[in-house]
DNA sequence: GGCCCAATGTTAATAAAATAACAATGCTCA
DNA sequence: TGAGCATTGTTATTTTATTAACATTGGGCC
C-alpha cells in the first residue's frame, strides 16, 4: 500500500491522540472529535482511515483500542525496529529521554559519541558506545534508523559512513542538509525554520 | 504580501544555506546549486524568489549577501522580536542553547520555569525567571513568541495564560495539541511523528 | 416496529503545491 | 561582434492534498 507522506504523519498523530484517549478511559471517539483535537477536519480523518481500509462497525464512533491496533499494523513494522542516536549532546539527550520507550515497535537501543566522558555510560536511559565501534554495533544490534544530533560539521561525513554500514533511515536534526543514496529514507527538521515561520506570521498579523 | 507557509519555510532554509555560503566565501550561487543543497528543484527556488519579487541583476547567479538581506526584509520583522522558552528542562535547554544568537531579529530574552533550582539562574545563555512572574515579564520585556517545552499536562493551561498576557506566537514542542484564539499563530512539532514516518518508509522499502 | 438522525464511507469538486515549458536575457568566447 | 548557451523569470500544466457533497447505515426513541 502506497500511503501519502502526509497521511502517514497524521496516522502517527491519530495514534498519539488515541493513546491519550485510552488514558482518559475513553473507549470510543467520533471522527469530528478526533479531528478537533488535532485542528483538522473530520473529513480528513475519515478519508485517511478510508485509505488504510479501516471502518468502524459500531455507530458510536471508532473503537479506540481497535483503531490504535489498525494504525499500528499499517505504520509499524511487524517485528520491532532498532534506533540509535548519534551525538548524545544537549539535543541528543533530550530526544533520547523523550523517545525511549514511547513506541513498542521502535526501540532506542544505543547512542554513539566520540566524547570520552560519555562513552560507556548510560545517558538518558541508553548506553553510549564509542563512535568508532559504530560499524560493528549497527550490525550486532541490527540498528536500522539513526537520529542525527552531532555538530553540523560532522553530519555529512558521519551520514556517509552509517549508510555504508547499513542504516536505512535517518532523522536529521542537524542544520546540515544531507544527501543519501536511494533506498535510504531521510527526514530533516530544523527548529529555526519553524520558529522563523511563527515570527513571520506574528509579524504579518500585527504590522 | 500573503506568502504560502511552505514558501516561508523555504525562505528560512534558503537563508540558512546562504549564510553557509558566506562562510565558505561564496558570493554568488545559482538557483540549481541552492536547490541541490536543499534537495529541491531549481524551479522551486526561482518561483519562491519570484514571489518575494527578487531578481538577480547579474547572470552569475544570485548575490548571496543581497539575497540574504532580501529574505530578511520579507520574513524578519523591522525591529527585532523577543522570544522566551517556557520550561527549561532537557529540550528547553537544548533549544535555548541552539537558538540563542542565531538570528539577528529574533532575541531569546528569557526562560521561565517553576523549579526553584532553576529560577534566577542563567541556563543555556538565558536567564530563567519564575513562571509566576511571567505576566509581568512578558510586558516588561515585550515578549511576543513563546517556545513551549513544559511537560504535556501543563501545556494547555499555560498556553491559555500566556495568550491572555499578550503572546502572539507559540512554537509548541509538547505532545499536547493546543488551541489558540485567532490572532495568535501556532506551530506544532512532534519528533515522534517524524521518527515514525522514517520507520514507515524504511519498512515499506524493505519488506 | 418504524421514523429520525447523527455519523460514516466515498465520490466529486476545489484548492494548493510542485513541476514543466519556454521565451528572454545577457555573458562567453570563438 | 555576434552565435551559442547557460540561467533566469514567468506562465501553463500536472500532481497532490484538502474540502465539500451526499447517499448509506444502523442505533435510539417514541
Ligand atoms: N539543541 C537544539 O535544540 C538543536 C536544535 C536543532 C538542531 N540542532 C543541531 O543538533 C546538533 C546537536 O546540537 P546540540 O545542542 O546537542 O550540540 P552538542 O554539542 O550539545 O552535542 C553534540 C554531541 O555530538 C558529539 N560529537 C561531536 N562530534 C562527534 C563525532 N564525530 N562523532 C560522534 N559524536 C560526536 C559531541 O561529543 C556531543 O556530545 C547540532 O548540529 C545542532 O545544530 C540542535
Ligand atoms: N525531550 C525531547 O526531545 C522532546 C521532544 C518532543 C517533545 N518533548 C516534549 O517537551 C516537553 C519537555 O520535555 P523535556 O524532556 O524537556 O522535559 P523536562 O521534564 O526535562 O522539562 C520540563 C521543564 O518544565 C518545567 N515545568 C514543569 N511544570 C512547569 C510549570 N507549570 N510552569 C513552568 N515550568 C514548568 C520543569 O521544571 C522542567 O524544567 C514535554 O512535553 C515533552 O513531551 C520533548
Question: Residue A57's domain is classified under what CATH number?
Answer: 1.10.10.10
Q: Which of B50, B73, B96 is the last residue of a domain?
A: B73
The DSSP result for B156-186, as a single string, is: HHHHHHHHHTT--EEEE-SSS-----TTSEE
The DSSP element (H or E) to which A106 belongs, if any, is strand A106-113
CB B69 within 8 A of CB A191: no
Average the pLDDT over A161-185 and give the result. Answer: 95
Is B178 part of a structural domain of the chain? yes
CB A124 within 8 A of CB A90: no
What whole-number distance in Å separates Cα of residue A193 and Cα of residue B205? 29
pLDDT over 70 at B1, yes or no? no
What whole-number distance in Å separates Cα of residue B94 and Cα of residue B41? 32
Q: Which atom of ligand 1 is nearest to the CA of A150?
A: 24
Of the residues B90, B124, B175, which should be mutated to test ligand 2's pocket, given the most ligand atoms within 8 Å of the CB? B90
Q: Which nucleotide is nearest to B40 (CA to C1')?
A: C18
Q: Find which of A98, A168, A203 to mutate to test the B interface (most B CBs within 10 Å of its CB).
A: A203
Quick one: B112 and B183 in the same domain? yes
3-state helix, strand, coil in chain B (%, to 5): 45, 20, 35
Q: Which of B49, B73, B97 is the last residue of a domain?
A: B73
Is A205 part of a structural domain of the chain? no
Is B198 part of a structural domain of the chain? no
CB A90 within 8 A of CB B93: yes
CB A28 within 8 A of CB A69: no
CB B93 within 8 A of CB B118: no
Average the pLDDT over B121-135 and give the result. Answer: 97
Q: Using pLDDT thresholds of 50, 70 and 90, give the confidence band for residue A1.
A: low
Is B157 part of a structural domain of the chain? yes
Quick one: B95 and B151 in the same domain? yes
Contacts of A69 (CB under 8 A, 6+ apart): none
pLDDT over 80 at A110, yes or no? yes
pLDDT score of B2: 76
Helices B191-206 and A64-75 meet at what angle, rounded to 10?
50
What backbone phi and psi angles, to 5 degrees, belong to A167?
Answer: -65, 135
A59 touches strand D (CB under 7 A): yes
Quick one: B119 and B85 in the same domain? yes
Range of the domain at A143: 81-193
Quick one: A153 and A94 in the same domain? yes
What whole-number distance in Å separates Cα of residue A181 and Cα of residue A42? 38
What whole-number distance in Å separates Cα of residue B95 and Cα of residue A27? 36
Distance B200 CA to ligand 2 centre (A): 27
**Among residues of chain B, what percentage have pLDDT more than 90?**
89
Nearest to B202 among A94, A97, A144 (CB): A144
Q: Give all strands (DSSP E) within B45-168, no chain letters.
A: 62-63, 81-86, 106-113, 122-123, 126-130, 143-148
User: Apex CA B193: angle with CA B190 and CA B197, to 5°?
Assistant: 150
Nearest CA to ligand 1 atom 20: A89
Is A177 part of a structural domain of the chain? yes
Average the pLDDT over B159-182 and give the result. Answer: 95
pLDDT score of B56: 82
Nearest to A38 among B177, B199, B202 (CB): B177
Is B32 part of a structural domain of the chain? yes
* Residue A1 burial class via C-beta count within 10 angstroms: exposed 0-12, middle 13-18, buried 19 and up: exposed
CB contact under 8 A, B201 and A190: no
**Through-space distance between the first and last CA atoms of chain B, rounded to whole angstroms:** 47
pLDDT digits (tens, 9 = 90+) for B26-43: 999 999 999 999 999 999
Q: Which of A28, A44, A73 is the last residue of a domain?
A: A73
Quick one: B121 and B137 in the same domain? yes
Q: Using pLDDT thresholds of 50, 70 and 90, give the confidence band for residue A182.
A: confident
Quick one: A145 and A187 in the same domain? yes
What whole-number distance in Å separates Cα of residue B7 and Cα of residue A94? 29
Output the domain CATH number for residue B160: 3.40.50.720
Handedness of CA A175, A176, A179, A180 (dihedral sign): negative
Quick one: A96 and A182 in the same domain? yes
pLDDT score of B55: 85
Give A-chain residues touching B37 at CB under 8 angstroms. 177
Quick one: A45 and A87 in the same domain? no
Gap from B26 CA to D6 C1', in Å?
19
Nearest to A95 among B38, B75, B191 (CB): B191
Is B121 part of a structural domain of the chain? yes
CA proximity to A76, closest of B201, B144, B186: B201
Here the cell at position B179 is 488551541
Contacts of B82 (CB under 8 A, 6+ apart): B107, B109, B141, B142, B143, B144, B145
> B129: Cβ below 6 Å to ligand 2?
no
> B91: Cβ below 6 Å to ligand 2?
yes
What whole-number distance in Å separates Cα of residue A111 and Cα of residue A96? 8
pLDDT over 80 at B92, yes or no? yes
CB under 7 Å from any atom of strand C: which residues? A 30-32, 42-43, 46-47, 49-50, 54-56, 59, 61-62; B 4-7, 40-41, 43-44, 47, 58-60
User: Apex CA A116: angle with CA A114 and CA A122, to 5°?
Assistant: 90
Of the residues A87, A115, A131, which should be mutated to test ligand 1's pocket, given the most ligand atoms within 8 Å of the CB? A87
CB B40 within 8 A of CB B10: yes
Average the pLDDT over B180-184 and give the result. Answer: 91
Is A203 part of a structural domain of the chain? no
Quick one: B41 and B120 in the same domain? no
Of the residues A150, A159, A177, A190, which should be mutated to test ligand 1's pocket, given the most ligand atoms within 8 Å of the CB? A150
For chain B, what is the domain count?
2
> B205: Cβ below 6 Å to ligand 2?
no
Quick one: B116 and B189 in the same domain? yes
Instruction: Report the Cα B69 to chain-centroid distance in Å.
Output: 18
Quick one: B69 and B100 in the same domain? no
Quick one: A182 and A90 in the same domain? yes
Any chain B CB within 8 A of the CB of A139? no
> A125: Cβ below 6 Å to ligand 1?
no
Amino acid at each position: 500500500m502506497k500511503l501519502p507522506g502526509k497521511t502517514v504523519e497524521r496516522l502517527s498523530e491519530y495514534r498519539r491522540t488515541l493513546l491519550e484517549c485510552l488514558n482518559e478511559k475513553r473507549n470510543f471517539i467520533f471522527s469530528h472529535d478526533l479531528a478537533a483535537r488535532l485542528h483538522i477536519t473530520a473529513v480528513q480523518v475519515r478519508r485517511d482511515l478510508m485509505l488504510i481500509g479501516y471502518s468502524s462497525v459500531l455507530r458510536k464512533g471508532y473503537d479506540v483500542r481497535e483503531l490504535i491496533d489498525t494504525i499500528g499494523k499499517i505504520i509499524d513494522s511487524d517485528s520491532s525496529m532498532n534506533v540509535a542516536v548519534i551525538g548524545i549532546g544537549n539535543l541528543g539527550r533530550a530526544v533520547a529521554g523523550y523517545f525511549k520507550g514511547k513506541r513498542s515497535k521502535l526501540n532506542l537501543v544505543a547512542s554513539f559519541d566520540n566524547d570520552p566522558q560519555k562513552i560507556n555510560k548510560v545517558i538518558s536511559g541508553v548506553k553510549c558506545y564509542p563512535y568508532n565501534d559504530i560499524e560493528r554495533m549497527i550490525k550486532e544490534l541490527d540498528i536500522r534508523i539513526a537520529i542525527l544530533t552531532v555538530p553540523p560539521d560532522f553530519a555529512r561525513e558521519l551520514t556517509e559512513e552509517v549508510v555504508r554500514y547499513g542504516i536505512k533511515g535517518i532523522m536529521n536534526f542537524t542544520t546540515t542538509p544531507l544527501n543519501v543514496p536511494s533506498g535510504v529514507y531521510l527526514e530533516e527538521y530544523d527548529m529555526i525554520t519553524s520558529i522563523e515561520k511563527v515570527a513571520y506570521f506574528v509579524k504579518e498579523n500585527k504590522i
